């Protein structure tokens, strides 16, 4: 019978294969990290844009968006802007109920806030077909709300931020994106600071609500 000899891999060949596998895995992980960072950066941009737009709105009209008395007297729009409901108009708080899904009561100060910012020319993009959530990310709605409302959806927000009157809420952010956002705008923890999550959050699981001070 003819004997067939089989040669195993040498240590050098095994090492080369492991290096290649490591390089591929590193490339994949780096790509995931880059994509996550880019998506988080988009959320950070929204936060900064809304903060800036709100400051300019208040400087121009003397009130916060949504909280402006008789907005039709100041901002030309078709149809004419109407005064927000759901709270005390002109008190410095963007009042109104928001559901856990991120939908504001129609006509409330919360619902009117992005509409007024848009018509004032201070933000450039809204979805006019969804009057309960004019602002959205690829994950879910974005709302400007009072600190009281933020605390209803994110317990502990008011205690962590006693001086805050209002907040920005993001709905259904993946946990890894929310954590990356908090690293960029706050202290890197979803349980402390100016940005808080509504529940413990790990991996890519959706976080119901992420609140950050306005």
Q: Is residue 17 part of a domain?
A: no
Q: How far apart are CA 147 and CA 160, in angstroms?
A: 11
Structure tokens at 28: 């994949």
DSSP state string for 17-73: HHHHHHHHHHHHHHHHHHHHHHHHHHHHHHHHHHHHHHHHHHHHHSS-TT--SSGGG
Give me the number of domains the chain comprises. 1
Q: Is residue 163 part of a domain?
A: yes
Q: Are strands 206-213 and 166-174 parallel, antiparallel or unpaired?
A: antiparallel
Q: How far apart are CA 210 and CA 190, in angstroms?
A: 8
Residue 31 has what pLDDT? Answer: 59
Q: Is residue 15 part of a domain?
A: no
pLDDT in tens, 72-129: 999 999 999 999 999 999 999 999 999 999 999 999 999 999 999 999 999 998 998 8
Of 3-17, 65-79, 98-112, 159-173, the poorest mean pLDDT is in 3-17
**Where does the pLDDT of residue 9 fall: very low under 50, low under 70, confident under 90, or very high at 90 and above?**
low
Q: Is residue 26 part of a domain?
A: no
Of residues 87 and 35, more confidence is placed in 87
**Where does the pLDDT of residue 210 fall: very low under 50, low under 70, confident under 90, or very high at 90 and above?**
very high
Residue 181 has what pLDDT? Answer: 96
Provide φ and ψ at 135, rounded to 5°. -105, 135
C-alpha distances out from residue 201 to 36, 95, 161, 184, 196, Å: 16, 28, 20, 17, 11
Q: Is residue 28 part of a domain?
A: no
Q: What one-character DSSP code corresponds to residue 81?
A: P
Helix 175-185 with 11-61: angle, nearest 10 deg: 60
For residue 23, pLDDT over 70 is answered with no
Q: Is residue 23 part of a domain?
A: no
C-alpha distances out from residue 22 to 11, 16, 26, 92, 206, Å: 16, 10, 6, 55, 30
> Which residues form the domain of 191?
38-213
Residue 26 has what pLDDT? Answer: 60
Q: How far apart are CA 174 and CA 201, in angstroms?
A: 9
Q: Is residue 8 part of a domain?
A: no
Question: Would you call 143 helix, strand, or coil by DSSP?
Answer: strand
Q: How far apart are CA 136 and CA 61, in angstroms?
A: 25
Residues listed for the chain: 214
Q: Is residue 157 part of a domain?
A: yes
């Amino acid at each position: 019978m003819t004997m067939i000899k089989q040669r195993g891999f040498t240590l050098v060949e095994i090492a080369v294969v492991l290096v290649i596998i490591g390089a591929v895995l590193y490339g994949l992980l780096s790509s995931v990290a880059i994509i996550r960072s880019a998506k988080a950066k988009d959320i950070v941009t929204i936060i900064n844009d809304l903060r800036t737009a709100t400051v300019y709105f208040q400087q121009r009209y003397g009130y916060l968006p949504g909280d402006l008395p008789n907005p039709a007297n100041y901002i030309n729009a078709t149809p004419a802007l109407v005064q927000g409901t759901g709270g005390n108009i002109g008190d410095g708080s963007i009042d109104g109920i928001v559901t856990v899904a991120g939908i504001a009561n129609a006509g409330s100060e919360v619902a009117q806030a992005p509409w007024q910012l848009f018509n004032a020319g201070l933000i450039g993009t809204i979805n006019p077909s969804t009057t309960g959530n004019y602002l959205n990310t690829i994950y879910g709605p974005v709302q400007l709300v009072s600190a009281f409302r933020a605390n209803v959806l994110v317990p502990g927000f008011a205690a962590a931020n006693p001086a805050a009157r209002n907040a920005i809420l993001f709905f259904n952010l993946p946990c890894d994106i929310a954590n990356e956002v908090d690293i960029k705008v706050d202290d890197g923890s979803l349980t402390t600071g100016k940005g808080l999550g509504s529940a413990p959050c790990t991996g890519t699981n959706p976080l119901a609500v992420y609140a950050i001070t306005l």
